[in-house]
Amino acid sequence: MKCVHIPKNPRSDREIVRRCGSIRETRQGDEVTVSNSDGPSVEEDRVVDCLRRDGRASYSSIAEELGLTRNRVSEIAKSVVDRGQLRFTASANPRMFGFRLEGHLHVALRGDASSLYEEMIASSLTTYVSTTTGDAGLCIQVRCRVDTELVELLAGIREHPEVLSIQVHHYQAITHNVYAPTLQTEDEYALDETDIQLVETLERDGRAPVRVLAEALGLPESSVRHRMTRLIEGEIIRVVAVPRREFGRAHTLALGLGIRHSGGSRTGLDALRRLGVEFMASTTGDFGIIATAVFSTVREANDFVEVLRREPWVTSLSTWLHLQILKEDYSVAAYRHARQRIDTLERSSDDAVTGTA
């Protein structure tokens, strides 16, 4: 159940229970617990969070970390996968596949924006899409190979009448991301066609056994194991579990942070790393740093923000809650296939103009 702890009214020590649909609120002692009986359980949330960080982690290691039995972890993982609420894939390092431009969009909205949501989910240029609180109702993370791709994406967003404004923040560098590789380099990794096939196979099923991968690629298991180890340890890919959009995150609050700071960004990035954020990037634009931190309770989030505001390098702080993560996908196959279709159409068009066969 989802638990949010709020100070109780000190005048009453009795337990108060209020239900509204699937929402249950229990007040007892010094806290209020708000529960969603239809959502994921606490155990499911914890297991899924472990798998999001390492999709190929053994169930035994997860059981040891969480204090559960291996059978219980296996049962939970199988249940959420069988219900279609979790899939295993590979997150790719964008720099290694030619994506030189990454950024964060804050889109202010009015009215029904469902068509924009679906368009952003379907786009091969977006990696993260979330509805949010605050002035901007939608947060989008993008990656592009060339500037024209971003220009065209922004033009498409502006065509939606419900869009009031777009704030664009260019990532200078993503320095930490729990769910994707962040090694910064300007040199594309020397990937051969077999490496690409392995990456795309893992994108389809990140927990596929080595035996299955070897059969799909027509290689010995030892060769596949070596290639996969090289890709993972080289920060080329990271195998993760991605919850489906309807699964939600029942017991965590994802807090977005837009930070304006004095001086360079290094001091702030080092401090945020010590504070344990899940994502952070230095940016150009209105904010110098954009980050995401995750908490179990509102009180934890409040304490974190209070600590951050007192940091001498912070000049101002904007925050927003991620209400629903609509998309979280750092794979590259969809982009590669989309570009191949576009390139084929462009070549066909050029051939038609020049009269070549």
Backbone angles phi, psi at 254, to 5 degrees: -95, 115
Is it the case that residue 348 has pLDDT exceeding 80? Answer: no
Instruction: Give the pLDDT of residue 353.
Output: 53
pLDDT at 52 over 90: no
Sign of CA dihedral 173, 176, 179, 185: positive
Q: What is the pLDDT of residue 36?
A: 45
Q: What pLDDT shows up at residue 319?
A: 96
Torsion angles phi and psi, residue 306, rounded to 5: -60, -40
Query: What pLDDT, on a 0 to 100 scale, did the predictor assign at position 252?
Result: 73
Say how many residues make up the chain. 357
Rama region for 70: left / alpha / beta (φ>0; ψ in -120 to 50; rest): alpha
pLDDT score at 332: 78
The DSSP output letter for 320 is E
Burial (0-12, 13-18, 19+ Cβ within 10 Å), 332: buried
Res 275 pLDDT > 90: yes
Give the range among 56-65, 112-121, 190-199, 271-280 with minimum mean pLDDT. 190-199
**Mean pLDDT on 158-170:** 96
Q: Which residues contact 73 (CB under 8 A, 6 or more apart)?
A: 47, 59, 62, 63, 66
Mean pLDDT of 309-325: 95
Give the count of alpha carbons within 13 A of 233, CB side only. Answer: 6
238 has a pLDDT exceeding 50:
yes
Confidence (pLDDT) at 6: 34
Residue 170, SS3 per DSSP:
strand
Assess whether pLDDT exceeds 80 at residue 313: yes
Residues 86-108, mean pLDDT to the nearest whole number: 88
Q: pTM of the entire structure?
A: 0.74
Alpha helices in the chain (DSSP H): 42-53, 59-66, 70-82, 114-122, 147-158, 193-204, 210-217, 221-233, 266-275, 298-309, 333-354
Q: State the chain's mean pLDDT as an integer.
A: 82
The predicted pLDDT at position 186 comes to 52
- Highest mean pLDDT (candidates 41-55, 60-74, 83-97, 188-202): 60-74
Question: pLDDT tens digits, residue range 4-20?
Answer: 333 333 333 333 333 33
137-149 pLDDT tens trace = 999 999 999 999 9
Kindly write down the DSSP assignment for every residue of 103-155, as one continuous string. EEEEEEE-S--HHHHHHHHH-TTEEEEEEESSS-SEEEEEEESSHHHHHHHHH
Please tell me the predicted confidence (pLDDT) of residue 354: 57
Q: Average pLDDT in the 58-72 region?
A: 95
Q: Is the pLDDT of residue 251 over 80?
A: no
The answer, yes or no, to whether residue 26 has pLDDT greater than 70, is: no
Q: Is 253 helix (H, G, I), strand (E, B) or coil?
A: strand
DSSP, residue by residue, 224-251: HHHHHHHHHHTTSEEEEEEE-TTT--TT
The pLDDT of residue 248 is above 70: no
